[in-house]
A and B are shown apart, each in its own frame.
Chain A
Amino acid sequence: MKKTHNRREFIRSCSRYSLGIALAGVTGYALKDATALQWVWQVDPFKCTYCGRCATHCVLNPSAVKCVHAYALCGYCDLCGGYLKPGHIDRDTAAENQLCPTAAIERKFIEEPYYEYRINEDLCIGCAKCVEGCSAFGNGSLHLQIRHNLCVNCNECAIARVCPSDAIKRVPAYDPYLVKGSFSDDTNT
């Protein structure tokens, strides 16, 4: 009886040590290229094709993806492709003339003939309609970014999975934004 007990103990500790070594091996191997960095998700505005899935596929509702404005790239046009609907009746702030479905873009007169466009993020749903308009007719200063005050940083971003242009990628948490104009794009020329 005593002998059996010892044998069991022996097998148990042997298995324990081998499992321990296996665990240490896998962890050590992963440690080789592990990084102290933490990752967050971000939209690469140069890859984005404004498909609108950011608005619908985020685990948050409304989405953590919002339109941001790189003011330094904006032409401050009166006739703004991101603000006004194609075929608008008047060039004013009336709802029927606005491209944005939630009226999240605030148009403010600066001086003749320039207007400032500011995103109200409480209203923005990240649908990218304005981004499409701005990129098609303007400078492309309106673009999508994941807002990190909202994003819950899922292990696998639900939007990245369905993004048709692979525009959502992991970026280091110390530099969490890819705002147009403030970083150089290495994918386009």
Chain B
Amino acid sequence: MIPIRNNMNLRQIFSVIVKITWARKTILFIQGFMLTLLLMIAVSQEATAQQQRFPMPEFDTGYTIPDTTTPEPRSESMEYVDLSVLLAVLALTTWLVLKKRSRNWIFWLVVFSLIYFGFYRNGCICPIGAVQNLALSLFSDTYAISLTVLAFFAIPLLLALFAGRIFCAAACPLGAIQDLVIVKPIKLSPWLQKTLGLFPFIYLGFAILYAATGTDFIICRYDPFVGIFRLGAEFHMIILGISFLLIGMFVARPYCRFVCPYGALLNIGSRFSKYHLSITPSECINCKLCKDSCPFDAIDYPTEEKDVRVTKEDNRRFIWIAILLPLLIFIGGLTISGSYKLLSRAHPDVHLASLLVANPELMQETGNLDIDTFMASGKTVDMLVAEATVIQKKFRTGGWYLGGFIGLVIGLTLLNQMVFRKRSIYEANRGDCYSCGRCMDYCPVGKPDHPYHKGS
């Protein structure tokens, strides 16, 4: 529109200004706008740091310049309130599970956690997502984890080593919302449970890989219930959340059992816990009343006589799997590490780089926002490719660990199936039990008013 280039000297610019000034009678509004612009360019060419094209006016009417409002975020001290609430809920639940043995009270705590951590705190801050913050903080130079987030991660795990999955029982809002929709839980066959139960470990591994490479927080992104807590999310996430709740009416707590990556960690911790919920307060009388009380199939039955078999066949299988375990780990590592190109494309930089390398003609075309922004940023494709290569390398190394971990988990699960354990009473499976306390209500031991005693 106006023949001005950055490389013009001052005289040329002023000659343009003169022409424009001459034309101002016809194009009046250009005067205020462009003249100032041109003068500013001229002034800035005389070496001044001021970037403002139009100077701040001097007002005659006593107008005062308003301040830009900056509403404060939620107070930082509130995070410590959250932490205290978590500690209080965990302590109370531990007491209710181990000493008071009251399902009723646990139920009301579940309701409280759903309201507080779920609907009031919108499902954030939560230990499940904190796994990723920890991974990112360990592997990134720029991100430092907050102390409260670290505490949210570590405290439920520490407690699991002492008292089992107390966090799952009443503190977790995701567990709470599923616990309240259980209508008629069906029993799943053990092999299906075991197979689906592998997924949390795989999910955990991938979540750590993606967080550690700074790619994405997949646990938070695909959290099915956070949309329900916030009463609004993308359509497909709401659908996912509602589907989980609908399935959860019949397959109790499907997210906790077959998806939750933090649950995988708690599962391991809880297996070796010092104390744990026990179905009976004293001695099990094998009344079988608790048999169907658990919606999560987490009660181990006494072994029957016909099951007692330790054959050569079993021993041989055990040894074979133990020998094959390193191979499983190796194959896992090889597979995941080998697919690093595919996996790393989730990272936006890698995605863009591979797109531009594969289709160089895209650089000229416009319309793709990411490519346009990148081309306008002044970076070269080589720089982008170099960055992407670094990230891909991380995926390659991380893939070995992830694949090895998956191989190990599959191998150990198989080994576990070969080990025969004799059991004479009904007891909670420490890994799978959420300490929800339902079974305690069914047990007639120590309850003189229980119908069981009246019947006999």
Q: Hey, what's the 0/1 contact readout for B1-45 against A, CB within 8 Å counting as 1?
A: 000000000000000000000000000010011001000000000
A6 interface contact, C-beta 8 A: no
- Known: A16-B274, A79-B32. Contact between A138 and B53, CB under 8 A? yes
Size of the A side of the interface (Cβ < 8 Å), in residues, is: 70
For A60, the chain B residues whose CB sits under 8 A away are 230, 232
How many contacts between A and B, using CB within 8 angstroms?
173
Q: Bound state CA distance, A113 and B74, in angstroms?
A: 41
Q: Which residue of A lies closest to B49 (CB)?
A: A189
Q: In the bound complex, do residue B29 and residue A152 qualify as a contact, i.e. CB atoms below 8 Å apart?
A: no
Q: Bound state CA distance, A16 and B162, in angstroms?
A: 9
- Known: A23-B157, A173-B73. Contact between A71 and B68, CB under 8 A? yes
Q: Which residue of A lies closest to B217 (CB)?
A: A156
Residue from A23, A26, A75, A170 within 8 A of B57 (CB atoms): A75
Q: Which residue of B lies closest to A11 (CB)?
A: B272
Interface residues of B in 146-166 (CB under 8 A from A): 146-148, 150, 153-154, 157-158, 161
- Known: A59-B230, A59-B233, A75-B52. Contact between A69 and B68, CB under 8 A? yes
- Known: A16-B272, A79-B29. Contact between A152 and B150, CB under 8 A? no
Residue from A19, A145, A155 within 8 A of B220 (CB atoms): A155
Q: In the bound complex, do residue B32 and residue A77 qualify as a contact, i.e. CB atoms below 8 Å apart?
A: yes
Q: Which residue of B lies closest to A47 (CB)?
A: B377
For A170, the chain B residues whose CB sits under 8 A away are 143
Q: In the bound complex, do residue B61 and residue A110 qualify as a contact, i.e. CB atoms below 8 Å apart?
A: yes
Q: In the bound complex, do residue A68 and residue B59 qualify as a contact, i.e. CB atoms below 8 Å apart?
A: no
- Known: A161-B348, A176-B70. Contact between A152 and B124, CB under 8 A? yes
A124 interface contact, C-beta 8 A: no
Q: Taking each of B33, B54, B68, B76, which has the highest tally of chain A beta carbons within 10 Å of its own beta carbon?
A: B68
Q: Bound state CA distance, A31 and B145, in angstroms?
A: 8
Q: In the bound complex, do residue B59 and residue A34 qualify as a contact, i.e. CB atoms below 8 Å apart?
A: no
For B113, the chain A residues whose CB sits under 8 A away are none
For B132, the chain A residues whose CB sits under 8 A away are 155-156
A7 to chain B minimum Cβ distance, whole angstroms, is: 13
Q: Bound state CA distance, A62 and B295, in angstroms?
A: 40
Q: In the bound complex, do residue B147 and residue A34 qualify as a contact, i.e. CB atoms below 8 Å apart?
A: yes
Q: In the bound complex, do residue A19 and residue B54 qualify as a contact, i.e. CB atoms below 8 Å apart?
A: no
Q: Hey, what's the 0/1 contact readout for B201-217 against A, CB within 8 Å counting as 1?
A: 00000000000000011
Q: In the bound complex, do residue A91 and residue B374 qualify as a contact, i.e. CB atoms below 8 Å apart?
A: no
Q: In the bound complex, do residue B272 and residue A34 qualify as a contact, i.e. CB atoms below 8 Å apart?
A: no
Q: Bound state CA distance, A171 and B126, in angstroms?
A: 20
For A139, the chain B residues whose CB sits under 8 A away are 52-54
Q: Bound state CA distance, A114 and B63, in angstroms?
A: 11
Dominant SS at the A interface? loop
Q: In the bound complex, do residue B57 and residue A148 qualify as a contact, i.e. CB atoms below 8 Å apart?
A: no
Q: In the bound complex, do residue A153 and residue B32 qualify as a contact, i.e. CB atoms below 8 Å apart?
A: no
B175 interface contact, C-beta 8 A: no
Q: Bound state CA distance, A182 and B69, in angstroms?
A: 12
Q: Hey, what's the 0/1 contact readout for A154-187 against B, CB within 8 Å counting as 1?
A: 1110100110110000100110110100100000
For A95, the chain B residues whose CB sits under 8 A away are none
Residue from A110, A138, A149, A158 within 8 A of B71 (CB atoms): A149
Q: Bound state CA distance, A158 and B124, in angstroms?
A: 14
For B241, the chain A residues whose CB sits under 8 A away are none
Q: In the bound complex, do residue B377 and residue A165 qualify as a contact, i.e. CB atoms below 8 Å apart?
A: yes
A85 interface contact, C-beta 8 A: no
Q: Which residue of A lies closest to B422 (CB)?
A: A4
Residue from B61, B65, B221, B268 within 8 A of A71 (CB atoms): B65
A40 interface contact, C-beta 8 A: yes
Residue from A34, A76, A176 within 8 A of B145 (CB atoms): A34
7 additional A-B pairs beyond A36-B146, A72-B65, beta carbons within 8 Å, are: A15-B271, A20-B161, A60-B232, A75-B36, A114-B57, A153-B73, A155-B124
A-B residue pairs in contact (CB < 8 Å), sample of 6: A30-B137, A59-B233, A76-B54, A110-B63, A164-B370, A165-B377
What 10 pairs across the A-B complex have the smallest Cβ distances? A75-B54, A148-B73, A156-B217, A164-B373, A149-B71, A16-B272, A15-B272, A35-B144, A177-B70, A155-B220
Interface residues, chain B, CB within 8 Å of chain A? 29, 32-33, 36, 52-57, 59-61, 63, 65-74, 76, 79, 122, 124-125, 129, 132-134, 137-138, 143-148, 150, 153-154, 157-158, 161, 216-217, 220-221, 230, 232-234, 268-269, 271-274, 348, 369-370, 372-374, 376-377
